[in-house]
């Protein structure tokens, strides 16, 4: 029997959902294995039946989304926090470093109609079963999650740092040899160290790795010449409200 999947979008940019469409070659065989029961981006089908897997993209930032995530939890066997917005609050959570009124007045001329609350990771409201890291997650990890649910096992996802993947690629270290502000040492692996492999610093878009040593990273960034404001911005960018980064981002 096919796995019944639903794809939901909360406060995010749709980039995680786009990553599924980028599967291209894998999509036809994948559709032999899953049924798309709900996915407003690709079909007008209404959500009627309960789900085997709900992929939820985006952070929760409105009262309507709070209600909806509770409903999704009730009607789904596996709830996947799909991408960093859903896991850490990610880019929308940068807003949490200003007051609600300041944020609203910066964006909207008339704020009376805005129904907005602090953007949060979805685990603030409901239990999640799987966290699929990345902004967006690599498409191979999306396949891994679907396979794992189908085989009733845990997905094999990485919890070490981007530096491990970077070293396996034999890259020159941008942080230690060129004194460039790379967030690889505290960032969860999974992307294959794409940025350092292209001579770009890791910005931390896979969120904090397991047991990330944020205070040490903060000290190193200061030593290579970043101002304390810039160090804060580095930690705020993708996961500033997480337990791991909160102190450095404040
Ligand atoms: S995690 Fe990144 S790609 Fe996914 S919705 Fe959020 S901002 Fe977009
Ligand atoms: S370049 Fe960045 S990701 Fe690569 S080893 Fe150095 S600090 Fe780690
Ligand atoms: S290297 Fe860092 S910023 Fe680049 S994709 Fe990987 S986790 Fe994201």
The ligand 1 atom at the shortest distance from the C-alpha of residue 19 is 3
Cα(206) to ligand 3 centroid in Å equals 6
Ligand nearest to the CA of 169: 2
The ligand 2 atom at the shortest distance from the C-alpha of residue 167 is 5
Cα(43) to ligand 3 centroid in Å equals 31
Pocket (CB within 6 angstroms of ligand 2): 162-163, 166-167, 171, 173-175, 182, 184-185, 193, 196, 202
Q: Decide: 192 in ligand 1 pocket, CB within 6 A.
A: no
Cα(70) to ligand 3 centroid in Å equals 31
Look at residue 119 and tell me whether its pLDDT is greater than 90. yes
Lowest mean pLDDT among 36-40, 104-108, 188-192, 232-236: 104-108
**DSSP secondary structure letters along the chain:** --EEEEEEE-BS-SHHHHHHHTTGGGHHHHHHHEEEEE-TTT------S-EEEEEEESBB-SHHHHHHHHHHHHTEEEEEEESHHHHH-TGGGGGGGS-HHHHHHHH-S--TT------B-GGGTS--SEEE-SSSPPHHHHHHHHHHHHTTS------SBHHHHHHHTTPPPHHHHH-----GGGBBP-S-SHHHHTT-----TT-BPTT--HHHHHHHHHHTT--HHHHHHHHHHHHTTSTTTHHHH-
Query: How much is the average pLDDT of 222-241?
Result: 97
Cα(56) to ligand 1 centroid in Å equals 11
Pocket (CB within 6 angstroms of ligand 3): 162, 187, 191, 193-195, 202-206
Look at residue 24 and tell me whether its pLDDT is greater than 90. no
pLDDT interval class at 113 (50, 70, 90):
confident
Average pLDDT across the chain, whole number = 96
Residues of the chain above pLDDT 90, percent: 95
pLDDT interval class at 61 (50, 70, 90):
very high
Look at residue 240 and tell me whether its pLDDT is greater than 90. yes
Look at residue 227 and tell me whether its pLDDT is greater than 90. yes
Contact of 238 with 191, CB cutoff 8 Å:
no
Look at residue 70 and tell me whether its pLDDT is greater than 90. yes
pLDDT tens digit string along 196-221?
999 999 999 999 999 999 999 999 99
pLDDT interval class at 228 (50, 70, 90):
very high
Q: What is the pLDDT of residue 183?
A: 98
pLDDT tens digit string along 35-47?
999 999 999 999 9
Q: Decide: 121 in ligand 1 pocket, CB within 6 A.
A: no
Which domains are assigned to the chain? Answer: 3-150 (3.40.50.700), 162-249 (no CATH)
Q: What is the pLDDT of residue 249?
A: 97
């Amino acid at each position: 029997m096919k796995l019944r999947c639903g794809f939901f979008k909360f406060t995010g940019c749709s980039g995680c959902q786009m990553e599924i469409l980028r599967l291209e070659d894998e999509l036809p065989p994948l559709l032999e294995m899953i049924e798309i029961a709900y996915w407003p981006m690709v079909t007008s089908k209404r959500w009627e039946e309960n789900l085997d897997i709900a992929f939820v993209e985006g952070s929760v930032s409105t009262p309507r989304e709070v209600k909806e995530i509770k409903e999704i939890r009730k009607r789904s066997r596996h709830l996947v926090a799909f991408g960093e917005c859903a896991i850490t609050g990610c880019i929308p959570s940068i807003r949490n470093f200003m007051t609600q009124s300041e944020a609203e007045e910066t964006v909207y001329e008339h704020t009376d109609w805005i129904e907005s609350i602090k953007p949060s990771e979805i685990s603030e409201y409901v239990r999640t079963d799987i966290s699929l890291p990345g902004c967006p997650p690599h498409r191979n990890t999306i396949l891994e999650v679907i396979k794992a649910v189908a085989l009733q096992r845990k997905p094999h996802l990485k919890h070490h740092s981007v530096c491990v993947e970077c070293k396996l690629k034999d890259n020159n270290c941008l942080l230690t040899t060129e004194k460039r502000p790379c967030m690889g040492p505290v960032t969860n692996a999974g992307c294959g160290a794409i940025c350092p492999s292209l001579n770009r610093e890791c910005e931390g878009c896979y969120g904090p790795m397991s047991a990330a040593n944020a205070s040490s990273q903060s000290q190193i960034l200061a030593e290579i010449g970043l101002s304390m404001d810039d160090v804060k911005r580095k930690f705020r960018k993708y996961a500033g409200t997480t337990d791991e980064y909160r102190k450095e981002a404040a």
